[in-house]
Structure 1
Amino acid sequence: MEAGIVGLPNVGKSTLFNALTSAGIASENYPFCTIEPNVGAVPVPDARLGTIQSFIKTEKTIPAVLQLVDIAGIVRGASEGEGLGNKFLSHIRTVDAILHVVRCFEDADIIHVDGQVDPIRDIETIDTELMLADLQSVESMLDKARRTARTGDKEGKQRVEVLEACQALLAEGKPVRSLSFDDATLSKMFKECQLLTAKQVLYVANVHEDDLTGEGPHVMKVRERAAAEGGAVVPVCASLESELAELDAEERIEMLESLGLDEPALALLARAAYELLGLQSYFTAGEKEIRAWTIPVGATAPQAAGVIHSDFERGFIRCETYSVADLEELHSEKAIRESGKMRVEGKEYVMQDSDVCHFLFNV
């Protein structure tokens, strides 16, 4: 699963990306300094890994990972080829969700492309370009679908229905992510369109060090905007997080304590992005490693097993599972088994967040 980081030039996208991935690449104060999208893997902080390790001793722990794509700054007119135009928009099309970085701090040394800081204007600039690009895509697909529908083709008629619904929303200046179809076929067709504004968005408010909790007027405007859309906001000081990423563990803890923080804001961001993508974790635990595995919410036990290896899904027999809470209560798998809380689940079992599993399979 991938999330793409988008925003106007000079809002702190690359600084944030580098801090998240500890890439250590210094970003310059120039528009379009990111020519190709950088891709990085970000561990998703999860205290449950430590909890499991406190009762099951192991050589290492491996967290879940979220893949991030740093997409170069979009400018007004990108949908018509301004800046690096549709090249950037095509990169967004391939990701599963969008992290929209919005500048919410004042700094005379960092030039804003529009001259002054206005987060709502910035959001609307990005949204407009994505909607215009979608409208172009929809109109192109609609012409083809209508020609097919005129031949009496049932699938063509259904595609016209989906595309016309998208076109109507976009023409009103609204993203299509609010659309949903009860019919499974129409829903599948909608997803296959890969429209930019169909993707879920998490707003990342890049704040100054004196507003780490995001209570300033700029951030409050973004919060209001997100609330109206049913979305969320994570305040992050990208420059501070970049500093924290370069420190060793002990120095990082000291700096966080001096700021009155429990953890880096990037930890909150990684978890929020994970949730945005509709993901959850289950765990495997043994002598060699304790590991968090990423699955979509609603995944079945065989699908979860397939994340480890396709053979596990193909030859799935059953899984033995318990929760992290069971381990906290009873302190060992032996005690869990003896208490009757070790459950045996079959192919229809829907995985729950915090499951710890042992899979049995035969290929």
Structure 2
Amino acid sequence: MQLGIIGLPSSGKTTIFELLADNSSLASNSAKANLATARIPDHRIDFLSSLFKPKKTTFAQLEIIDVPSLIPGMAKNTAQFLASVRKADALLQVVRVFENDNIPTLSGEINPVKDIEAINYELLLADLDLIEKRIQRINENKKKNTMLKELGLLERIKDTLENAKPLSSMDFDEEEQLLLANYQFLTNKPILVCLNISEEDILSDEYDGKIDLYEYAETNGINFIEVSASIEKEIAQLDEEDKRIYMEDIGIKESGVVKIARLMYSSLGLISFFTVGEDEVKAWTINDGTVARKAAGKIHSDIERGFIRAEVIKYEDLHDLKSVVLVKEKGLFRLEGKEYIVKDGDIINFRFNV
């Protein structure tokens, strides 16, 4: 799964990318997409690691792409931007809200709503172009009568896009979803808007245009998070104790980067199950709705093939009792079969025989 980080020049997009990747030397080429792996912070892994004291602790991870900044009106740049966006499974759009005379903007003004619309417009145009070309091919096809269902669906999507509404605003039944499965649409990707705010404004919780921005987001169904990249950079440079003290001093309970990572992980429909022991405590990433046998295959294909049972403990039960022995004594330890749907936070030991 890949998360594409998008935005206009000087939005702070690359800074957010570096913070998510926990590496400030990754983005070496602003004209090309840069790749990295982001660790998904999880307090549950922290607790399990403190409980089992393993030799190794492994968090869930997500591949992230620093997509080249969009420069509206430049055809080559737009093509590179759209090509990178197509590879992503979800998008994080970084939007500049902060004022800084030393960092110029393309338009010469700070206008978050206009910046959001500039990128959304390109995504809509790309989907509309794809739809129109497909409609034309169907109309020219001698077997058009066998594709009327698809044609009607595409015409409905075309009307939606022409009214400046994304595909994500539409509802599709199972048959329609199958018809669209092979299309690489852009406006149906999960998207989170990251408002990059100055340190002063995020601490005061006030900035120019805030009310208008909130109203626009509500009207258009836009999910957003407010982050100060400058504060996040300071936090990233501190050790854990200094980090805790600094965040308490400025009144922040949780790092914005941690919030972004968690929100984007869930927006992709991903969950984590855990394996624990003295050697390693590890978070394994699976799609929500995955059955136990398939989840076992994430660890090793032999475990999936020889699956017998899954020994399952709810994270909350272990957290409350702080002992596997006590969990078993309380009757909270379960044996599940291959069709059991794994829940987020399940602690699992797979029984298998090959």
Name the TM-score, length of structure 2 as normaliser.
Answer: 0.92
Match of 2:175 in 1: 185
1:229 aligns with 2:220: yes
Q: Is the 8 A contact 1:105 1:218 kept in 2?
A: no
Runs of 4+ in structure 1 over 4 Å off: none
Which stretches in structure 1 are left out of the alignment for 5+ residues?
none
CA distance in structure 1 between the aligned counterparts of 2:112 and 2:24, rounded to whole angstroms = 27
Instruction: Return closer, same or farther for 1:180/1:190 CA change in 2, 3 Å cut-off.
Output: farther
The answer to whether the 8 A contact 2:197-2:228 is kept is yes
CA contact (8 A) 1:283 1:355 kept: yes
Identity of aligned residues (%): 37
1:358 has 2:349 as partner: yes
Aligned 8 A contact 1:6 1:99 in 2: yes
| Structure 2 counterparts to residues 41-80 of structure 1, below 5 A | 41-77=37-73
**For residue 93 of structure 2, what is the amino acid of its counterpart?**
H
Structure 2, unpaired ranges of 5+: none
Instruction: Work out whether residues 5 and 93 of structure 2, in 8 Å CA contact, stay in contact via their aligned partners in 1.
Output: yes
Aligned residue in 1 for 2:91: 98
Tell me what 2:239 maps to: 248
Query: What are the residue-to-residue correspondences of 1:320-339 with 2, within 5 Å?
Result: 320-339=311-330
Amino acid at match of 2:232: E
Greater CA drift, 84-93 or 241-250: 241-250
Cα shift at 1:351: 1.4
SS at match of 2:338: coil
Distance 1:149 1:271 in 2: 49
What is the deviation of 1:26?
8.6
Aligned residue pairs, count: 353
Structure 1, 301-310 or 95-104: larger mean CA deviation: 301-310
Closer, same or farther: CA 342–203 of 1 in aligned 2, 3 Å: same
Aligned residues: CA RMSD: 2.1
Q: Cα deviations across residues 292-343 of structure 1 (Å, max 9, x unaligned)?
A: 1112222211222222223333332221101111112332222222322111
C-alpha separation in 1, matches of 2:244 and 2:142: 62
Q: Decide whether the 8 Å contact of 2:131 with 2:154 is kept in 1.
A: yes
Q: How far did 1:94 drift?
A: 1.1
- Match of 1:238? 229
1:116-131 aligned within 5 A? 116-131=109-124
- Cα distance change of structure 1 residues 338 and 250 upon mapping to structure 2, 3 Å threshold: closer
CA contact (8 A) 1:320 1:344 kept: yes
Asked if 2 retains the 8 angstrom alpha-carbon contact of 1:223 and 1:233, the reply is no
Q: Is the 8 A contact 1:205 1:219 kept in 2?
A: no
Residue 207 of structure 1: which of 174, 188, 197 is its match? 197
The answer (yes or no) to whether the contact 1:180–1:187 under 8 Å persists in 2 is no
Residue aligned with 2:5, SS = strand
Give the whole-Å Cα distance in 2 for the aligned partners of 1:24 and 1:256. 21
8 Å CA contact 1:18, 1:242 repeated in 2: no
Match of 1:36 in 2: 32
TM-score normalised by L of structure 1: 0.90
C-alpha distance in structure 2 between counterparts of 1:260 and 1:128, whole Å: 37
Give the Cα separation in 2 of the matches to 1:359 and 1:24.
39
- The aligned runs of 1:141-290 (5 Å cut-off) are 141-148=134-141, 150-153=143-146, 156-182=147-173, 184-212=174-202, 214-290=205-281
Cα deviation, residue 265, structure 1: 1.2
Decide whether the 8 Å contact of 1:203 with 1:226 is kept in 2.
no
Which residue of 2 is the match for residue 111 of structure 1? 104
**Post-superposition offset of 1:151:** 4.5
Alignment pair present for 1:18 and 2:14 = no
Cα pair distance change 1:151/1:175, threshold 3 Å: closer
- State the Cα deviation string for residues 190-228 of structure 1 (Å, max 9, x = none): 232111111111010000001226542444433333333
CA distance in 1, matches of 2:188, 2:142: 24
Deviation of the 1:42 alpha carbon = 1.1
Query: Contact (CA 8 Å) 1:5, 1:101: kept in 2 or not?
Result: yes
Three-state SS of the structure 2 residue aligned to 1:85 is: helix
Counterpart secondary structure, 2:77: coil
